[in-house]
Structure 1
Amino acid sequence: MRAAFITGHGGNEVVKVGDFPDPVRGPGEVLIRLHAATVNRVDLYMRDSGAGIRHRLPQIIGLDGAGTVSAIDDDEKRVRVGQRVVVHPLMFCGRCEFCLAGDEVLCTSASYLGEHRDGVFADFISVPARNVFAMPQGWDFAPSAALGVNYLTAWRMVFSKAQMRPWETALIFGIGGGVSLAALQLIKTMGGRAIVTSRDDEKLARAADLGADHGINSEREDVSQKVLELTNKRGVDVVIENVGEKVWSQALRSLVRGGRLVTCGATSGDQPGADLRRIFIRQLRILGSTLGSLGEFHDLLQFVNHHQIRPVIDSTYALADVHAALDRLEHGRQFGKVAIRIA
């Protein structure tokens, strides 16, 4: 089959597109003919170094994909051959205390597609049947694929971790990125208020078209001061961020007393000043979050189908043009998801 895979670590020169062995479907697994995938920051990380992530080379990259079912066990009841499906990218043991509690994302032996094992930038993939979900009705493959990482991550951050309520206000850093845009769409759909940041006025304008109540150009304005101005010196209830070190101080200063900061990334560095006095005096809550459970994915799919929320697709590239897709994400040119068309 065709696949995009890394043969080492460095730049795009280690990302090859060519023949790769077909996956072998095991008992209880579903073989999927992939039609679309989207690019995530971790794809760049795996290309650059993959440090700290157990993996082998060569390895197919890509976490979130959508396609059609090609083969199943004879007694499989959850999906059928030919069905259009989307993949949950986390493999888990099902036996540890966290899996038994229904929070598979905390599994002690968790492994991710495109990180610990072959991913979705390929013609086919085989995954456990429990990781396969029906696509929302009437959707195309690329928007459906986008739900598997960024939108699931945002869902857990907004609803499970922050437990945001409709009358609250959130500050979302780095609008234009996939998680940030997903959080904006979810928050506005549930009735919340959203303040967004970007260094790009065009991205702020496009976010306003999606419902953002206020935009802050972080290149020209002090984010925390502007937030206090917009909230009558109160601060926001929730901060959604995946930037890390560069915005950490601003994020903490933007929170109301007792506010919640939810973080899922550290693209600018992972060792910010802790500002512990502010945290304990104002009784702030710092919450880490990654991806989401099968139950959360089910709820997300129901929510977006009911409300007809469509992920924003920035651009679509053929599998053969994966280098251009990676470049677009790496240089921060995108507004929404960069998609890969596989078939």
Structure 2
Amino acid sequence: MKAFVHEYGKVKIKAMDEPVADQGEVVVSLRVAGLNRRDINIPNRRGGKAEALVLGSDGAGVIESVGKGVTNFSIGDEVIINPGLRWYENSDAPPKGFDILGMPDHGTFAEKIAISAEQVEKKPAHLSWEEAGVLALSALTGYRALFTKGEVKEGDTVFIPGAGSGVATFLISFAKNVGAKVIVTSRSERKRKQAMELGADIALDTNSDWPQELADETIDVVIDSVGRATFNRSLEVLKKGGRIVIFGATTEDTVDLNLRTFFYGQYQLFGSTMGSRQELRAVLKHLEEYKTHAVVDKTFTLDNAEDAFEYLEENKQFGKVALRIKG
């Protein structure tokens, strides 16, 4: 089968052996896979390793074969891949043994994947293949940060620095679905406009004076993945006793924190990453209830995966970048 792999320090298309479904596994013939920043960082983390690794965490397709012991799925079922491996029930933190698909396990940038039947879920009927293929990692990350950790509810005001990422687009949709007010930032006028079209109530220029612009707002929850560049600026606009949830750091990982200001403000700080299968099933239920769609910015073919990587690295996308594998 054809796959996009990392091997000897390079990414390339390579012919790989077709997978076979072992006990408890299914083979999924992939239709679409989704890119995440994790995928473009893995080659740097692996260095010059000789063993070819199929990249990719997100994907959706049709079950082609089932292994012994699989009773809840059948050949022909349309499914999405759950990239959060071996985290089944909601918990304060991932359990021992948790990994994300795509390293060290072979991922979704291939024509087929063999994976535990515990790691697939039925595809919501209202989603296109592109929407289903890019869904799980970003939607699950956003759902856990927003609801499990941030406890966002109707009437809350949510502040999201950075409006263009895949997770941010799900955050906007999910928060609006439950009746929260959403404020985002972006340096890009185009992305601010797109965020408003998606449902954001206010879209600020990242370089603006946030306390001045938001003087009349009460920010209940901040959901931040930018890191050093926005952390303290976000605290400035967060209400006393408010919650700030961090699920990434696209700028520097470390921040300077005035502890006295923090504890006098009674702020609550939460870390979050990915989520459990229980939460992913809640995501799918939420999507079906509100008929919410993923925002797909651009679709590439598997043969043009390198171009897709370059496009994502440029950070010009609003929403997700997809790889069409088949069909």
TM range (shorter): over 0.9
Deviation sequence 1:142-180 (CA, Å, 0-9, x none) = 101222100110000111000111111010111011111
Range with greater deviation from structure 2 (56-65 or 30-39):
56-65
Partner of 1:223 in structure 2?
210
Take 1:247 and 1:8, find their aligned partners in 2: how far apart are those partners? 37
TM-score (normalised: structure 2): 0.95
- Which of 227, 231, 238 is equivalent to 1:248? 231
Instruction: Please name the residue that 2:189 is paired with.
Output: 201
The CA deviation at 1:81 is 0.5
2:275 pairs with one of 280, 283, 292: 292
Counterpart residue identity of residue 225, structure 1 = Q
Matched, 1:179 2:167: yes
The Cα of 1:26 is off from its aligned counterpart by 1.6
SS of the residue aligned with 1:82?
A: coil
1:83, distance to aligned residue in structure 2 (A): 0.7
In 2, the alpha carbon distance for the partners of 1:104 and 1:142 equals 31
Equivalent residue number for residue 15 of structure 2: 19
Q: Which amino acid aligns with 1:7?
A: E
User: Which residue of structure 1 lines up, in the alignment, with residue 285 of structure 2?
Assistant: 302
Q: How does 1:63-82 map to 2 (within 5 A)?
A: 63-73=57-67, 75-82=69-76
Deviates further, 20-29 or 305-314: 20-29
SS class of match (1:106): coil
3-state SS, counterpart of residue 283 of structure 1? coil
**Normalization by structure 1: what TM-score?**
0.91
When residues 39 and 191 of structure 1 are mapped into structure 2, their CA distance, relative to the original with a 3 A threshold, is same
Q: CA deviation at 1:249?
A: 1.0
Which position in structure 2 is the counterpart of 1:84? Answer: 78
Q: Post-superposition shift, 1:309?
A: 0.4
Please state if 1:139 is matched with 2:127. Answer: yes
C-alpha change, 1:104 and 1:245, in structure 2 (3 Å) is closer
1:2 matched to 2:10? The reply is no
Query: For 1:315, what is the secondary structure of its paired residue?
Result: strand
In structure 2, give the amino acid aligned to 1:5: V
Letter in 2 for 1:136: P
Query: Which position in structure 2 is the counterpart of 1:325?
Result: 308
Deviations 1:247-301 (A, max 9, x none): 1111111210111111111110111112222221111111111111111011110
**Alpha-carbon distance between aligned partners in 2 of 1:105 and 1:85, rounded to the nearest angstrom:** 26
Q: CA deviation at 1:114?
A: 1.0
How many pairs align? 325
Secondary structure of the residue aligned to 1:204 is helix
Q: 1:127 to 1:105 in 2, by over 3 A?
A: farther
Kindly state the Cα deviation for residue 130 of structure 1 after the two structures are TM-superposed.
1.2
The 2-side partners of 1:171 and 1:44 are apart by 27
Selected match of 1:42 from 31, 38, 42: 38
Separation in 1 of the partners of 2:216 and 2:35?
34
Percent of pairs with identical residues: 31
Partner of 2:140: 152
DSSP-derived class of the 1:297 partner: helix
**Matched ranges for 1:42-61 at <5 A:** 42-50=38-46, 57-61=51-55
Displacement after TM superposition at 1:87 (Å)? 0.7
Q: Does 1:281 align with 2:227?
A: no
Q: CA deviation at 1:103?
A: 3.4
Q: Closer, same or farther in 2 for the Cα pair 1:90/1:56, shift >3 Å? A: farther
CA–CA distance in 1 between the matches of 2:279 and 2:134?
15
Aligned to 1:117: 105
Distance (whole Å) between structure 1 residues aligned to residue 225 and residue 12 of structure 2? 29
Q: d(CA) in 2 for partners of 1:120 and 1:56?
A: 19
Shift of the 160–117 alpha-carbon distance from structure 1 to 2, 3 Å rule, reads same
What's the offset of the Cα at 1:8?
3.9
In 2, the alpha carbon distance for the partners of 1:4 and 1:280 equals 48
Letter in 1 for 2:83: P
> Which deviations, in whole Å up to 9, do the C-alpha atoms of 1:51-88 show, x marking residues without a partner?
8xxx9732111101000001113552211101100010
Letter in 2 for 1:32: V
Distance 2:264 2:85 in 1: 40
Which residue of 27, 33, 36 maps to 2:29? 33
